[in-house]
Amino acid sequence: MSSRRLAWAAMGLVLVVALGVGARGKSGPLTEDQRVHRVASVIRCPTCRGLSAAQSDAPAAEAIRDEIRRRVQDGQTDGQIEDYLVSRYGDDILLDPRANGVGLLVWALPLLGGAAAVAGLVFVVRRNRVRPGRRRVTAADQALVEEALHG
Amino acid sequence: MSAVLGTAGVTLGLVASILGMITLALGLRRKNPGLLRAGQRYTWLVLAGGVVATIAMQYALLSHDFSLKYVADNGSRSTPLLYTVTTMWSALEGSILLWALVLSGYLAVMARHFRDRVTDPIVAWATLVALTVAAFFFGLMAGPANPFRLISGTIPTDGPGPNPLLQNHPLVAFHPPMLYLGYVGFTIPFAFALAALITGRVGEGWLVETRRWTLFAWGFLTVGIVLGAWWSYAVLGWGGYWAWDPVENASFLPWLTATAYVHSVMVQERRGMLRVWNLSLLVATFSLTILGTFLTRSGVLDSVHAFTESAVGPAILGFFALVVAVSIALIGWRGDLLRSPGSIDAPVSREGAFLANNVAFAAFAFVVLLGTVFPLLAEAVNGDQLSVGSPYFNKMTAPIGFTLLFLMAVAPALPWRKAAAETLHHRLLWPAWAGTLTVVACVLGGLRGLGPLLAFGLAAFAGAAAVRQLVLSTRAALRSGQPVWKGVLGRANGGMVVHIGVVVLAVGFAASSAYGHKAQFRLAPGQSARLAGHRVTYLGTSTVVHSNKTTTAARVRVDGGKVYEPALNQFPFGSQAIGTPSVKTGPLSDVYLTLVVTPDEQGVAVIGVNVQPLIAWLWTGGAIMGFGTFLAAWPGGRRRRRVKAAAPERTTGAQDAAVPEPAVAR
């Protein structure tokens, strides 16, 4: 292994270890506040525009947070709480549309589009690489060069 | 009086636009230079129309002429002077007037800039296209969005004033004009793009002409968006600055496509490639400014069916459809001329990186557009009520953001055509170590979470790469006997300054999103609460009656030091109280205070506290980006060197002059 590669491999190792340690996060189960925040951040504040129930200080958002907290204390899962809120307020209470029915499109289209774009990119680069020097030098071109050099 | 003057201005603008279009069309058809010259002169009349209408509107607002419906609906005698002036862009009709004013200004600057080339068909066609856009906006004001409509019935003696949120912070005087200077500025490159297609002169000439226009528009839009985020932070009171709200997305969309363009245009200038793509990006950028206006100004966001209540929505949507249809037809028609002579030799090259950059920006724009219009589409198609909000946008755009940061780090070090491993090693090793060591330092400092750590690492990598380029270019400037500041001028070097701004902004965004703390405290006077290492002490409240509002302000001492006064404002015509946050801002963290509930009988108030790190980096990053754009657009550099050296442009790019590339790069 050349010293050049060694330098990059060492860096990669340091980076992976550091990210590994950093990504593990603080251990232990989530606290009640953290769970309330996690659910509330995907719930729309019914009286605001574009804010989640976790972000807004509006009374309606506070009421939703209180409801979530009650249900967290009752031992419900995040999914159960979301189901309850959807049944009460309708599908549009979720800021993250569910990936079923029409809502599937909003998740699938970017992924399909992204895959198509990457495939297209690879295709373009490949196509150009397999045909290097596809342009033949014509006599007219050579004449032009001659003229430029000696004319 | 102001109604007559205003209507005269709007009519003048509309008639001059149409006459200009006709004159130019005739001149182009008959190849008559006299007519082309005359056609250009109409732009000055359009400007006069825009200025007269604006003066009339300002006069009406300042003199409280409530016979005008716009003033009666949005003005008030008690509004302070600054917000009376800004009332012009506080509602639909006035915003269209501001748009028309800015557009007529750009038109006049364009006419002056190209005054020696008025008989050139490409200039004539571009002016014709720009005049068509002007005719549309003046037409809107002459018809459905008339800002000078008279009130029917008795004239009121006072009005409600602008939306309370729009008279709460001085940034409202800067954010919309900046944004509009950006939006509208893209009209000129768009006009030249169409002119190039129509005349068939799709070579690189028109690009060079419009390069600086695009840069300026981009810079204004960037600063406008950042100011909007700042306004949002300072006024809305939820502690954040970006909510992926459709109005914000509408300004962000053209920014994304324009950013893709300012990068990919370099590939075309350098290698002659991506012609169709670049034209499409310019068209997309302009179309998205129109679509954004439709989304934010037609009422469609309140309900899919609301926008047909006034003719404004359908008119803008129709214009959008026209722009898209005409552009696609023109690109299709000229398809054979647009075939590019060059090709990409290797994926790991400057042009390869620009291509990847463009795919990333296009994907970014697609996700934001889809998420913004999806609820509307779903409702229109089968009546489904759906929301698409920040969790969706954050999830979908974060990987794209990381990709862009990575490309920003690597691309400046890549040579054109092909990169040798030796070159990459030499140029990237130290920036990459800067990124790695930043991650290590953050982890050792106790920061956790893969997302923010990746963001910090990539940001440091990209920042170091940009600094490396600037150091090299500055050294090169010194070596060739030029002053130091020459090293940061020109497009490549200014671009690196912009990159540093992006890095600073990205770090602020990642840190404030990941490590914020938010809480509400019920406090009696004298009581304290702690959050994230900060102590807030509630001292009491006081109520002040202003001319336009009644303010209840809480006095809150932060960390035993200065007293801050978050407040709640009651406006006479607004039902809901509007909060005014108060922020202790610092280079490392912000303590953001709001008064959530005014004191009850026992004097207990509810104080909202947000502690978020590195918020100030967002505004700083935005300022650096604006400054970098200014440096990048600075005349000279390239051009002057070209004259002096009299060498072809392809080999005298500022980049090459500044950074000696090893022979392998060629």
B507 phi and psi angles, rounded to 5 deg: -65, -45
CA distance B124 to B25: 8
Mapped onto helix, strand or coil, the DSSP state of residue B263 is helix
**Cβ-nearest to A97 among B243, B392, B520:** B392
DSSP B98-119: HHHHHHHHHHHHHHHHTGGGTT
Instruction: Dig out the tokens for B28 from the structure.
Output: 């182009």
**Cβ-nearest to A121 among B239, B359, B374:** B359
Residues of chain A with C-beta less than 8 angstroms from the C-beta of B612: none
Residues of chain B with C-beta less than 8 angstroms from the C-beta of A110: 363, 366-367, 370, 396
Q: What is the mean pLDDT of residues B308-336?
A: 90
pLDDT at B549: 85
Residues of chain A with C-beta less than 8 angstroms from the C-beta of B457: 15, 19
**Running DSSP on this structure, what letter comes out for residue B663?**
G
Residues of chain B with C-beta less than 8 angstroms from the C-beta of A49: 245
Cβ separation A22–B385 shorter than 8 A: no
Q: Which of A65-79, B246-260, B546-560, B651-665 has the lowest mean pLDDT?
A: B651-665
Residues of chain A with C-beta less than 8 angstroms from the C-beta of B435: 15
Query: How far A25 CA sits from the closest chain B CA (Å)?
Result: 5
pLDDT at B88: 96
Residues of chain A with C-beta less than 8 angstroms from the C-beta of B453: 18-19, 22-23
On whether the CB atoms of residues B326 and B311 are closer than 8 A, the answer is: no
Cβ separation B443–A49 shorter than 8 A: no
With b meaning 16 or more CB within 10 Å and e meaning fewer, what string describes B300-332?
bbeebeebeeeebbebbbebbeebbebbeebbe
**Cβ-nearest to B243 among A51, A124, A125:** A51
B587 phi and psi angles, rounded to 5 deg: -65, -25
Instruction: Dig out the tokens for B584 from the structure.
Output: 């202790």
Q: What is the mean pLDDT of residues B98-112?
A: 97
CA distance B654 to B333: 36
Cβ separation B608–A57 shorter than 8 A: yes
Tens of pLDDT, residue by residue over B272-311, are 888 888 999 999 999 999 999 998 888 787 666 666 677 8
Residues 6+ apart with CB under 8 A from B158: B64, B66, B76, B77, B78
Residue B447 near chain A (CB below 8 Å): yes
Residue B384 near chain A (CB below 8 Å): yes
Mapped onto helix, strand or coil, the DSSP state of residue B452 is helix
With b meaning 16 or more CB within 10 Å and e meaning fewer, what string describes A13-32?
eebeebbeebeeeeeeeeee
Residues of chain B with C-beta less than 8 angstroms from the C-beta of A42: 389, 391
Residues of chain A with C-beta less than 8 angstroms from the C-beta of B243: 50-51, 55
Instruction: Dig out the tokens for A33 from the structure.
Output: 């506040």
Residue B343 near chain A (CB below 8 Å): yes
pLDDT at B574: 65
**Cβ-nearest to A11 among B246, B433, B453:** B433
With b meaning 16 or more CB within 10 Å and e meaning fewer, what string describes B259-270?
bbbbbbbbbbbb
Query: How far A72 CA sits from the closest chain B CA (Å)?
Result: 19
pLDDT at B42: 96
The answer to whether residue B397 scores a pLDDT higher than 70 is: yes
CA distance B262 to B281: 10
Cβ separation A42–B391 shorter than 8 A: yes
Tens of pLDDT, residue by residue over B569-592, are 888 776 678 889 999 999 999 999
Residue B449 near chain A (CB below 8 Å): yes
Cβ separation B453–A19 shorter than 8 A: yes
The answer to whether residue B182 scores a pLDDT higher than 90 is: yes
- Alpha carbon B306 to its chain centroid, in Å, reads 27
CA distance B505 to B226: 10
DSSP B623-638: HHHHHHHHHHT-SSTH
Cβ separation B388–A57 shorter than 8 A: no
Which residue type does B578 have? I
pLDDT at B665: 32
Query: How far B23 CA sits from the closest chain A CA (Å)?
Result: 44
ipTM score: 0.85
CA distance B480 to B598: 66
Instruction: Dig out the tokens for B131 from the structure.
Output: 């005049």
Which helix H or strand E contains B611, and what residues bound it?
A: strand B605-613
Neighbour count for residue B81 (Cβ, 10 Å): 8
Query: How far A108 CA sits from the closest chain B CA (Å)?
Result: 11
Cβ separation B355–A118 shorter than 8 A: no
Q: Considering only alpha carbons, which residue of chain B is nearest residue A16?
A: B436
Q: Considering only alpha carbons, which residue of chain A is nearest residue B394?
A: A96
First to last CA, chain B: 69
Best mutation site among A11, A92, A112 for testing chain B: the one with the most B CBs within 10 Å?
A92
Closest CA to B4 of B149, B106, B116: B149
Helix axes B312-333, B121-142, angle to 10 degrees: 160
On whether the CB atoms of residues B224 and B257 are closer than 8 A, the answer is: no
Cβ separation A102–B237 shorter than 8 A: no
Residues of chain A with C-beta less than 8 angstroms from the C-beta of B520: 57
pLDDT at A58: 85
Counting as low any pLDDT under 70, the low residues of chain A are 1, 25-28, 128-137, 151
Q: Considering only alpha carbons, which residue of chain B is nearest residue A33?
A: B519
Q: Which residue has the higher pLDDT, B635 or B232?
A: B232
pLDDT at B422: 86
Residue B107 near chain A (CB below 8 Å): no
Residue B463 near chain A (CB below 8 Å): no
Residue B382 near chain A (CB below 8 Å): yes
- The DSSP bridge partners found for residue B521 are B607
Query: How far B528 CA sits from the closest chain A CA (Å)?
Result: 20
Residue B481 near chain A (CB below 8 Å): no
C-alpha distances in Å from residue B556, one per residue of B35, B156, B535, B586: 69, 41, 10, 17
Residue B402 near chain A (CB below 8 Å): no
Which residue type does B436 have? T
Cβ separation B443–A18 shorter than 8 A: yes
Residue B430 near chain A (CB below 8 Å): no
For strand B578-580 and strand B582-584, is the pairing parallel, antiparallel, or unpaired?
Answer: unpaired
pLDDT at B653: 36
Residues of chain A with C-beta less than 8 angstroms from the C-beta of B345: 128-129, 132
Q: What is the mean pLDDT of residues B223-238?
A: 94
∠ CA(B249), CA(B255), CA(B93), 5° rounding?
60
Cβ separation B443–A96 shorter than 8 A: no
Residue B299 near chain A (CB below 8 Å): no
**Cβ-nearest to B347 among A14, A125, A132:** A125
CA distance A113 to B254: 19
On whether the CB atoms of residues A45 and A56 are closer than 8 A, the answer is: yes
- Alpha carbon B220 to its chain centroid, in Å, reads 6
CA distance B392 to B367: 10
Compute the mean pLDDT over every residue in chain B, rounded to the nearest whole number.
90
C-alpha distances in Å from residue B220, one per residue of B60, B174, B225, B484, B560: 29, 11, 9, 27, 40
Cβ separation B387–A110 shorter than 8 A: no
Instruction: Dig out the tokens for B652 from the structure.
Output: 């005298």
Closest CA to B190 of B116, B270, B145, B136: B136
Q: Considering only alpha carbons, which residue of chain A is nearest residue B445?
A: A22
Query: How far B16 CA sits from the closest chain A CA (Å)?
Result: 41
- The DSSP bridge partners found for residue B594 are B608
Q: What is the mean pLDDT of residues B625-640?
A: 78
Q: What is the mean pLDDT of residues B264-279?
A: 87
The answer to whether residue B664 scores a pLDDT higher than 50 is: no
**Cβ-nearest to A97 among B388, B440, B443:** B388
Cβ separation A57–B359 shorter than 8 A: no
Q: What is the mean pLDDT of residues B468-482?
A: 91
∠ CA(B223), CA(B293), CA(B261), 5° rounding?
55
Task: Tell me the count of A-B CB pairs closer than 8 A.
Answer: 145
Residues of chain A with C-beta less than 8 angstroms from the C-beta of B339: none
Unique residue bearing structure tokens 């990237």: B428
On whether the CB atoms of residues B566 and B98 are closer than 8 A, the answer is: no
Cβ separation A14–B344 shorter than 8 A: no
Q: What is the mean pLDDT of residues B439-454?
A: 94
Query: How far B445 CA sits from the closest chain A CA (Å)?
Result: 10
In a 13 Å sphere around the CA of B244, the CA atoms on its Cβ side amount to 26
On whether the CB atoms of residues B352 and A125 are closer than 8 A, the answer is: yes
pLDDT at B636: 58
The answer to whether residue B637 scores a pLDDT higher than 70 is: no
- The DSSP bridge partners found for residue B150 are B68
